[in-house]
Amino acid sequence: MLTIVAAIEPELAGVRRRLRTQESLPVDVRAIGIGRQGLAASVGRLLDSHRGGGEAGLLLLLGFTGGLDPALKAGDLLVPTRYYHESGESVAADGPMWYQARVAAAEAGLCVVQGNSLTVERPAATPQAKRQLYRQHQVGSVNMEDYWVAEAAARAKVPFLAVRAVLDPVSQALPGYVLDLAGRPANVAFKVAFRPWRWPTLWNLAHLRSAAQASLTRFALSFINHQMTADRRYSPELADPACGP
pLDDT at site 228:
74
Task: Give Cα 94 distance to the centre of its chain.
Answer: 15
Tens-digit pLDDT profile for residues 204-234:
677 788 899 999 999 999 999 887 775 444 4
Beta bridge partners of 92: 82
Q: Residue 135 in 3-state DSSP? A: helix
The C-alpha atoms of residue 169 and residue 92 are separated, in whole angstroms, by: 24
Per-residue pLDDT at 51 exceeds 80: no
Q: Over the range 96-134, which residues count as b (16 or more CB within 10 Å of their CB) and which as e?
A: bbbbbbbbbbbebebebbebbbbbbeebbbeeebbeebb
In three-state form (DSSP H/G/I as H, E/B as E, the rest C), the secondary structure along 138-206 is: CCCEEECCHHHHHHHHHHHCCCEEEEEEEEECCCCCCCHHHHHCCCCHHHHHHHHHCCHHHHHHHHHHH
Task: Single out the residue of 173, 239, 234 nearest to residue 202, CA to CA.
Answer: 173
The C-alpha atoms of residue 24 and residue 120 are separated, in whole angstroms, by: 37
Tens-digit pLDDT profile for residues 97-146:
999 999 999 999 998 998 999 999 998 989 999 999 999 999 999 999 99
pLDDT at site 217:
95
pLDDT at site 181:
45
Kindly write down the DSSP assignment for every residue of 119-132, as one continuous string. Answer: E-SS---SHHHHHH
Mean pLDDT of 21-42: 78
Least confident of 27-41, 115-129, 158-172, 222-236: 222-236
Confidence of residue 176 (pLDDT cuts 50, 70, 90): low
pLDDT at site 65:
95
pLDDT at site 151:
92
pLDDT at site 179:
53
| Domains with residue ranges and CATH for the chain | 2-229 (3.40.50.1580)
pLDDT at site 52:
59
Q: What is the mean pLDDT of the chain?
A: 82
pLDDT at site 66:
95
Least confident of 59-63, 162-166, 187-191, 218-222: 187-191
Measured CA to CA in angstroms, residue 235 lies from 60, 96, 119, 122 at distances of 20, 8, 29, 38
Residue 5, H or E segment: strand 2-6
Per-residue pLDDT at 93 exceeds 70: yes
Confidence of residue 60 (pLDDT cuts 50, 70, 90): very high
Q: Following CA atoms 108, 145, 95, 131 in sequence, which dihedral angle do they give, to the nearest 10 degrees? A: 80
Q: Residue 233 in 3-state DSSP? A: coil
